[in-house]
Amino acid sequence: MTETARPAPADAVTAMVDHVLTLAATWPNWDGTLARVDDRVYTPHKAIRRVADHLIDHLAELEARLAGEQPRPDHWHASGITTEADLAPFTPQDLDEARSRLTRLARIWANRLDALSDDQLDDSPGDGWTFREIARHLEGSTYYADAVGDLS
C-alpha cells in the first residue's frame, strides 16, 4: 500500500484505539481463561494496560524529541509480566474507564500529529523512528487486544 493510500498518522492511532475498544466491549464476558500468544499471557486488563503504556511511552518520546531533549527510557516490564491487577475480572465499569483513558490518549496523539507538518512527520528531530513511523508502529498495539480477542 502506498503512503498516499494509507490513513493519516493521526487516523492510524485513533483507528487502533477504536479497534481495541471494539474488542474490549466484549471483555466483560471474560471467564478468567488466560490467552496464551507467542511466549506471553494476556488478559483484558493487561491488554488495556499495554495499549495505554505504549501510547504514553511513545508520546513521551515524541514530546521530548520536539523539545530537543533525550527521551527518558521506560522501565516498564511491558507484557513480560502479568500482575495481580491484570488477573481481575473485567467489568462494565472497567470498560468505561478504558474508553475514557484510551480515547483521551488517542485524541492527544491525533491533535499532536495533526499539528505537525509533513516535514516534521518525516524528518523528525533526534534519534529513532520518524513521528510518522511511530504512529504506524502504534497501529501494532492491536496485537494486545487481538491476543484476548472477541469474547462475544
CA 68 – CA 120 distance, rounded (Å): 13
- Kindly indicate the confidence band of residue 76, based on its pLDDT and cuts at 50, 70 and 90: confident
Q: Locate 119 and state its grid cell.
A: 516535514
Crossing angle between the packed helical segments 9-24 and 131-139, to the nearest 10 degrees = 20
Q: What is the pLDDT of residues 80-99, one digit of tens each?
A: 899 999 999 999 999 999 99
pTM of the model: 0.93
State the average pLDDT over residues 23-32.
98
> Residue 5: what pLDDT?
64
> Residue 1: what pLDDT?
46
